[in-house]
């Protein structure tokens, strides 16, 4: 490759990476700004841009042409905008390419954000910050890991970021309000349940798809010691193993739980093939089934799970409306 062309390729790649990092930083800074109420929507858009430019930079370095074109013999006819600019791959096309360097769970996290962006483009949202913050956090951590892995540690953005401070602790009644998702438009609630229902348990629980943290208030034992709000421990340490054993014991004593997708699949197997995710969402919203006082389900690590009692109600509803779902 001629030296001049090599320098141009490197220059364009560096510009893509610069803009990618700026978009990611802007998204995180806006999300952490307490004066902005449209933060989730802006964060999603900025992170989609950041990941798109990051993958464009990667493909450019690999010599992959990430422009849309039609092949006619040996010639390529490139698609262009109305103003004559090349049409480059959007993020979803970048993720679907066979040499995409990202792992499955990181792709799933991004596909969720892309789908959510499609929904919020056409419907005003209210407040999704707290409901989906675990997935936003995973997206941010994934971005920093991948840009460092693909291009070097110097490109990481972790040195510019810190944990945002909160003015109050999360109270029980606030958690119940979040779990009900009453403020979400029906199309977004249906999209979330549909997307989650299509995932395996391993995919759903993977920290690259949704990064969940348990917060426990902790005070230092001696004066002068640093007291961190968040403390990370080695997963192989005795402390972590003890916590995992305790958590596993708690999970084993709890009632069986079902995700929405599992309920839909059960109904289809029971002879109601037309009962889908939208049908399920419409039903629980109509019956206010996520009202904690009704005991139909529970919020676990930011996600709603249904008890067997609710599954029985859904099945009864299907039988009473058999002509509708057969």
Which pLDDT does position 112 carry in this prediction?
A: 93
Q: Would you state the pLDDT for residue 53?
A: 97
pLDDT at 139: 92
140: its two tokens: 């941010």
- Judge contact between 138 and 209, C-beta under 8 A: yes
* CA dist list (Å): 75 to 63, 72, 84, 228: 18, 5, 19, 61
DSSP-H helix ranges across 32-128: 39-61, 91-96, 104-122
- CB-based contact 277:190 (threshold 8 Å): yes
Classify burial at 285, counting beta carbons within 10 Å of its beta carbon; exposed 0-12, middle 13-18, buried 19 or more. Answer: middle
- Measure the CA–CA gap between 126 and 180, rounded to whole angstroms: 14
d(CA 194, CA 200): 12
pLDDT score at 16:
95
Q: Which sign does the torsion angle of CA 186, 130, 197, 120 carry?
A: positive
The answer to whether the CB of 30 falls within 8 A of the CB of 39 is yes
The residue written with tokens 């009632």 in the block is: 255
**What pLDDT sits at residue 44?**
92
SS3 199: coil
Residues 6+ apart with CB under 8 A from 305: 257, 258, 259, 297, 298, 299
Residue 89: name the closest of 62, 65, 116 by CA.
65
Domain boundaries along the sequence of the chain: 3-165
Burial of 13 (0-12, 13-18, 19+ CB in 10 A): middle
- Give the pLDDT means over successive 10-residue stretches in the chain (326 positions): 62 93 93 82 93 96 92 90 93 94 95 88 62 85 94 87 54 47 65 81 83 58 49 64 53 69 91 91 91 81 84 90 82
């Amino acid at each position: 490759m001629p030296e001049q062309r090599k320098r141009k390729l490197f220059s364009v790649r560096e510009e893509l990476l610069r803009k990618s990092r700026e978009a990611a930083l802007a998204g995180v800074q806006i999300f952490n700004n307490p004066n902005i109420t449209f933060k989730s929507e802006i964060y999603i858009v900025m992170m989609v841009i950041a990941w798109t430019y990051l993958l464009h930079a990667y493909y450019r370095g690999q010599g992959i042409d990430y422009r849309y074109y039609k092949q006619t013999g040996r010639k390529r006819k490139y698609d262009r905008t109305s103003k004559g600019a090349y049409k480059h791959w959007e993020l979803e096309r970048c993720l679907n390419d066979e040499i995409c360097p990202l792992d499955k769970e990181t792709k799933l996290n991004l596909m969720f954000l892309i789908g959510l962006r499609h929904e919020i483009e056409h419907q005003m949202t209210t407040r999704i910050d707290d409901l989906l913050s675990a997935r936003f956090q995973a997206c941010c951590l994934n971005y920093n890991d991948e840009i460092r892995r693909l291009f070097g540690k110097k490109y990481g953005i972790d040195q510019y970021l810190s944990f945002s401070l909160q003015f109050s602790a999360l109270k029980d009644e606030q958690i119940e309000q979040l779990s009900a998702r009453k403020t979400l438009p029906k199309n977004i609630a249906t999209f979330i349940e549909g997307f989650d229902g299509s995932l395996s348990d391993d995919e759903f629980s993977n920290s690259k798809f949704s990064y969940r943290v348990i917060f426990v208030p902790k005070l230092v034992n001696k004066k002068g010691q640093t007291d961190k709000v968040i403390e990370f421990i080695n997963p192989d340490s005795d402390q972590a193993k003890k916590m995992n054993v305790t958590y596993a014991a708690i999970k084993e004593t709890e009632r069986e739980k079902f995700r929405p997708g599992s309920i839909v699949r059960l109904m289809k197997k029971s002879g109601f093939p037309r009962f889908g995710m939208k049908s399920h969402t419409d039903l629980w919203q109509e019956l206010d089934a996520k009202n904690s006082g009704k005991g139909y389900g529970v919020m676990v690590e930011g996600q709603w799970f249904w008890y067997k009692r609710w599954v029985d109600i859904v099945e009864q509803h299907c039988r009473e409306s058999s002509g509708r779902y057969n």
